[in-house]
């Protein structure tokens, strides 16, 4: 029997996002309707990401992709690697843009959204939708 879902989401393995990502998926109506790829660096390994997306598209006929990278990602060397928050933010947005363009080249009909996650000093996680 065919079983389909609407969304595909890729995010970092970082444990600090565990609860927040579950809440995000629930709030956005994705929980139970998405394939989830959790991999260090989010979109960093685009070959792996595309491989997973191929399976998701062919098997579950997903229609929308959400790419989520985050600030202070250890897979990219953490915030210390950047001279400012703005520089790091721009870098992560660029990373997601590159992944988005690879996905659209291969699957022009897929909607692709990018989200930047930030951990607040309180531990709360803010999800910023990026129009990139």
What does the binding site for Zn ion look like in residue numbers (CB under 5 A)?
A: 12, 14, 73, 75
Our CB check for Zn ion shows the closer of 12 and 99 to be: 12
Least Å from the CB of residue 74 to Zn ion: 5
CA distance 76 to 68: 14
Q: Which is nearer to Zn ion, 41 or 60 (CB)?
A: 41
The distance of closest approach from Cβ of residue 89 to Zn ion in the complex, given in angstroms and rounded to an integer, is: 14
Rounded Cα gap, residues 96 and 113, in angstroms = 9
Nearest distance, CB of residue 43 and Zn ion, angstroms? 11
Question: Toward Zn ion, which CB reaches closer, 25 or 73?
Answer: 73
Q: Can you spell out the DSSP letters for the chain?
A: -----SEEEEE---GGGHHHHHHHHHHTT-TTSEEEEE-TTTTS-HHHHHHHHHHHHHHH---EEEEEEETT-GGGT-GGGSSSHHHHHHHHHHHHHHHHHHHHHH-TTSEEEEEEEEE-TTS-EEEEEE--
- As measured in angstroms, the least distance from the Cβ of 95 to Zn ion is 11
Closest to Zn ion by CB, 57 vs 116, is 116
């Amino acid at each position: 029997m065919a079983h389909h879902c609407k969304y595909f989401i890729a995010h970092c393995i970082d444990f600090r996002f565990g609860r927040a990502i579950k809440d995000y998926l629930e709030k956005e109506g994705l929980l139970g309707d998405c394939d989830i790829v959790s991999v260090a660096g989010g979109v960093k390994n685009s070959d792996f990401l595309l491989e997973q997306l191929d399976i998701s598209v062919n098997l579950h006929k997903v229609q929308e992709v959400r790419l989520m990278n985050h600030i202070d990602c250890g897979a990219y060397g953490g915030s210390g690697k950047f001279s400012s928050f703005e520089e790091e933010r721009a870098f992560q947005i660029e990373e997601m843009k590159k992944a988005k363009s690879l996905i659209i080249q291969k699957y022009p009909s897929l909607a692709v959204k990018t989200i930047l996650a930030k951990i607040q000093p309180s531990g709360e996680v803010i999800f910023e939708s990026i129009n990139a």
